[in-house]
Chain A
């Protein structure tokens, strides 16, 4: 392999810019791999960008996602190639040649500032008459982002937060491109970005690895005549309803039905549209939860007068927090009705919808709704076949990408990794996890060429401004017409130049355009500016650009201040130009006031220990260790038992043909023989301290203590199977848990064919004590039931359940089980099954069948209890040692349930496997890969670059009370013992010390400190006060008459 090493290329191509592609790109780029992110659409973001909120926390989807969109656009190691597709892939793992075809945008991406002036003048698709007065005959263009509920012009920006935030001309509709007439946009574009001459480009990229994340398609209801084929106006798909709910949607977040724009009184959700049928024998895995979410949000909007029914077959609330979310929805009045609705009829007059369904107790019910939402399932992307052909990777029967139980991110071709719903329908956190897992695989593959293609930026030496008076430059942006069309920008410039310490003020059409950037640098030189204020749009997207600009001009980046006069001013006061102008002046005045006090701040470089600690030697821990070690880092793997393997040692078979013991033994062998993995078995963590880059751990292995440092920590401590107290467990030998039954079925050679076996699901789970769903038990029951039928075809098997939660491709095994004659029967949680033991010890399970309205008795040779996976009792101790939180069920709690599923809020500590939540081996492996990528991103750097603007403690004022330690969400402050000498008295006391590597500069501690000992740099009390004073002073007497402004300051 030595010869190959030299040919490896330290770059990766990521196909698809949804949340999976974004995550993989960021993970790779931050570990020193050059990334080409190829997206077929004009913007990245994928489906998540269309979502209003996300379950189960009802977080705003765009708010959690936008920072990542921005991060991608700014990342120096990510080249975003939009409107592009991969034509062919040649070569092999480590060295691929990828041919990419980029379609023309007809807009010069370098020049376009995304101001939107062109959108306003495009005549296409507008109802109003064109310039010549004739009626516009071209049909409106349905806006894809709003799922056709609104229209858009031929030139558009897909959505406000689009990345790249550049206009795009749709050649199918553009008048100029089709007939040579119009060109309004070209005239309107002040940045001269419109380029009708653009041609398709074909070029080659060299990359060592490819990650395919093309996402999914939603089921098209056009093929469902029974649901109206999309012809009933008030029958909408869930994604359409998502847009209806969204504040950025077609009805500005008002819940209205499309036919008459009236508020619906009742809404019915129909589940499993296009999933779990004979053509698609899989469950789309997310629809139960998104329907619940949409129901909750709609109710939030409309309150109790809105009635919502969700018509479902099984509510599959299997993920972390899902079951609790489902319970909450029920409490808030969302009705869940178990039924499958065969068809919808429309009342042609009222446009109401009528459905018939069969109730739980077998009665036909007819109901009328104002609106119906179809929870459409997930399909493989339309491009799946083409992608499979170009990439040479295999698909399954539903055109999703094939992956293995033990290789969740590997495609069938070496060096090509996959993630997201392309592999199986899944929700955001699992997608993000898998994407990180795929990134880890690429990082392992390319570990020795890491950092070879990335750019490190060089800056000129920084100017020393000590002792200088403030010389402030103010730069005010018109943002096309966004600001300039409302506020009087030249007058703001005049006003700014009158402010104290301002030595230069000027305006520009687009302050972010490259010529304007050059001008800022030039003015810094020319006027010896030592503070810069830009008044334009939001700092969220643009502050890093301007900070970088002044750095390039030799100024410390913290000598910069920004005033948002677009979102905070001209957009909000679009129809009050005078007030907007005044407010903008005020905002500039405040920014200038603060900038006068700005001090240079410096980022610190904290050296990183490049070793990693993995706690837990089960599958998750071992895979994480392997993946980290394969990236070239030393791993300490600590297992408290004498043997590696963890809970998986008890698994004898899986759904399908994979053999877990073979896999486990191979894994143990590779881990034990890996030169970069130090295995410590029979070892406990005795103490743990430090922070990201520099943790210190002492382990105790049978009395022998060992201490080591490490830069990252991975928690993979697993969980246990709950032993119940119900159903005579422990009293009658014929009652056992699923794991015990699996053991018996696999190892008991004397086992006689049983007449009948009954399995009871959700035993001591989904109750008040354990409100969560244990996720794996339904699949386990199906697995063991199938195994019984395989061994003893004549044995009767009954599975009593509440909801069968065989999500994703597990559904096909559930189908297979039913085909084999395994009986699945629903029991009601209010009337739990009973177990009756006769005198001779024989067991009869009795339950009430609501469909048949009958008490059913089943004589059973074995009663198998599906008990939940429960967290380890020792989690509490470990959590407090590591200073990481547990959730209400005592599993470890991740930083963000959607977008940071494997990170803890504390930097440098990660989480994987069932210590996080119950999950399958496949999911654990994906997660283990993900933590390896996240850890790798830290370990691959020599230093951590801290924030410059962090909190600092004035030790003299600190009273050592520890308030800061309590309030900090990042574990940055700690009390340290110091020796203090005051007036010749020397004593020992505790003082707060803030770890710069952990501090994010949020200022919580500064606000909370009772002694006023902590300063949040860049936001010091003095600076804030100065800003408030400036606000207080106000913009005195502004009068705009005939363009002349008189200002009195």
Chain B
């Protein structure tokens, strides 16, 4: 295993990687409830970076198995921040998985990331100017202004394109972490039998509950649930969701929408507030990407609510303009964050849990055989 002395400085481009006096004592790993003997972290991951073991680092799943509860940082006798270091490694790995190189640009440069958001926003607004229908002013007719079929088509198109990027990146992740790992022989069947793990993890993020601060799990789960609900409503059921009909309050379209937007608003606001006041150990550092994702999500939700409110109040022009703004926020957020940014952990993390469970099983089988 050859070392690359430049690895540490490379990793540091992706955020805090403070090795302030880390003397490799392992207190962080002992205190981590998620660290198991088959996949120990944060010490080992930090060690890979400090030593310059690039291949080891790139092929590691551990950064994704960390939910950043901050216990490691609290227990560290040297006030090194292993938790934040793991966060930085997730950014680093996201960039390593991304073959376009955009993730790396976005994480390393605020100009790139914010610029990209504005360019996509401008693109969305330009599309709006080109393809929107007339603005009916005597009553609210959103579907005349932005015909639902066109928007749905756009949504679907975007879904396909973004899916292509993130899935190809996920394939890279598979390649680096599973395919190249020759230390254990993995029977193909395990990929199928362990699929359950992927599903469960994606749906529940139950690993998060093993952290000592399990209260964060419910917040996180609610945000994900809100997000997924909204995603399904917009991508699959847009025709039903974006309608000029006002459904009665007990109708699922109404309460699902309310549920999703309320949890998104409340908990993204809570996250942003926590970062502003640096409430916990985990909030000591905030990378630009840590701010952008919740802020864009919050703005998306707030503008979505506003569209709904204006329509309810029968204010046609505010409805249309807010809708345009809503799209100009939601679309860049998705384009930038899904395959190239923080959103991607929605896929990488369950994948990592899935891959790790496959490896663990394979090792068990190997031992048994």
Chain A interface residues toward B at CB < 8 A: 226, 272, 276-278, 281, 313, 339-343, 356-358, 362-364, 755-756, 794-796, 798, 804, 814-815, 818-819, 821, 823-826, 849, 851-852, 854-859
Contact = CB atoms under 8 A, between A and B. Distances in A.
Interface in B1-50: 1-3, 5-6, 8-9, 19-27, 29-31, 35, 37, 40, 43-44, 47-48, 50
B87 to A, nearest CB: 20
A818 B5 contact: no
A362 B79 contact: no
Nearest to A272: B77
Contacts of B78: 277-278, 815
Nearest to A313: B25
Nearest to B40: A362
A930 to B, nearest CB: 34
- Residue among A276, A364, A824, A857 with the highest chain B CB neighbour number at 10 A: A364
B51 interface: yes
B56 interface: yes
B23 A818 contact: yes
B3 A278 contact: no
A364 B35 contact: yes
A851 B47 CA distance: 9
Contacts of A356: 30
| Those 7 A-B pairs whose CB atoms lie nearest each other, nearest first | A796-B5, A358-B26, A340-B25, A278-B79, A342-B27, A815-B21, A277-B77
Contact of B37 (A281, A363, A849, A857): A363
A851 B3 contact: no
A340 B27 contact: yes
A818 B51 CA distance: 11
A852 B25 contact: no
A824 B26 contact: no
A756 B5 contact: yes
Contacts of B357: none
A755 B5 contact: yes
B75 interface: yes
A200 B13 CA distance: 65
B25 A856 contact: no
Contacts of A281: 21
B222 to A, nearest CB: 32
A343 B32 CA distance: 12
B29 A358 contact: yes
B44 A856 contact: no
Contacts of A804: 23
A183 B8 CA distance: 73
A795 B5 CA distance: 8
B83 interface: no
Nearest to B71: A342
B20 A857 contact: no
Nearest to B2: A857
A419 B86 CA distance: 45
A823 B23 contact: no
A276 B26 contact: no
B236 to A, nearest CB: 44
A226 B1 CA distance: 38
B53 interface: yes
B82 to A, nearest CB: 12
Nearest to A340: B25
A271 to B, nearest CB: 11
Interface string B154-185: 00000000000000000000000000000000
B221 to A, nearest CB: 27
29 contacts: A278-B78, A281-B21, A313-B25, A339-B25, A339-B26, A340-B27, A340-B77, A341-B27, A342-B75, A358-B25, A358-B43, A362-B37, A363-B40, A364-B35, A364-B37, A755-B5, A795-B5, A798-B5, A804-B23, A818-B23, A819-B19, A819-B20, A819-B21, A821-B50, A824-B24, A851-B44, A852-B56, A854-B56, A857-B3
B350 interface: no
Contacts of B2: 857-859
A500 to B, nearest CB: 74
B69 to A, nearest CB: 15
B77 A278 contact: yes
Contacts of A340: 25-27, 77
Contacts of B23: 276, 313, 804, 814, 818, 824
Contacts of B25: 313, 339-340, 358
A796 B5 CA distance: 5
Nearest to B78: A278
A953 to B, nearest CB: 63
Given A278-B21, A825-B51, A852 B3 contact: no
A819 B80 CA distance: 10
Nearest to A339: B26
B185 to A, nearest CB: 19
B3 A821 contact: no
Contacts of A819: 19-21
Nearest to A804: B23
B49 to A, nearest CB: 10
Nearest to B37: A363
A191 to B, nearest CB: 54
Given A804-B23, A854-B53, 20 more contacts: A278-B20, A278-B76, A313-B25, A340-B77, A341-B27, A358-B40, A362-B37, A796-B6, A818-B23, A819-B21, A821-B19, A823-B50, A824-B23, A824-B24, A825-B51, A851-B43, A851-B47, A852-B53, A856-B1, A857-B1
Contacts of B51: 823, 825, 849, 852, 856
A818 B1 contact: no
Contacts of B24: 824, 826, 851
Nearest to A360: B26
Contact of B19 (A226, A818, A855): A818
A357 B26 contact: yes
Contacts of A815: 20-21, 78
Given A278-B77, A823-B52, A859-B2, A818 B30 contact: no
Contact of B3 (A277, A362, A363, A796): A796
A859 B20 CA distance: 25
Contacts of A849: 51
A364 B43 CA distance: 12
Contacts of A858: 2-3
B21 A342 contact: no
A819 B48 CA distance: 16
Nearest to A314: B23
B52 A855 contact: no
- Residue among A340, A756, A849, A855 with the highest chain B CB neighbour number at 10 A: A340
A357 B29 CA distance: 9
B47 to A, nearest CB: 6
Given A823-B50, A856-B3, A857-B3, A364 B19 contact: no
B56 A358 contact: no
Contact of A854 (B1, B30, B77): B1
Contacts of B20: 278, 815, 818-819
B29 A362 contact: yes
A781 B359 CA distance: 41
- Residue among B2, B26, B50, B76 with the highest chain A CB neighbour number at 10 A: B26
A364 B40 CA distance: 9
Contacts of A313: 23, 25
A837 B262 CA distance: 66
Contacts of A823: 5, 50-52
A856 B5 CA distance: 12
A825 B9 CA distance: 18
A798 B3 contact: yes
Contacts of A824: 23-24
A803 to B, nearest CB: 11
Given A821-B9, A823-B50, A855 B1 contact: yes
A815 B24 CA distance: 12
Contacts of B48: 852
Contacts of B29: 358, 362, 364
- Residue among A313, A796, A826 with the highest chain B CB neighbour number at 10 A: A796
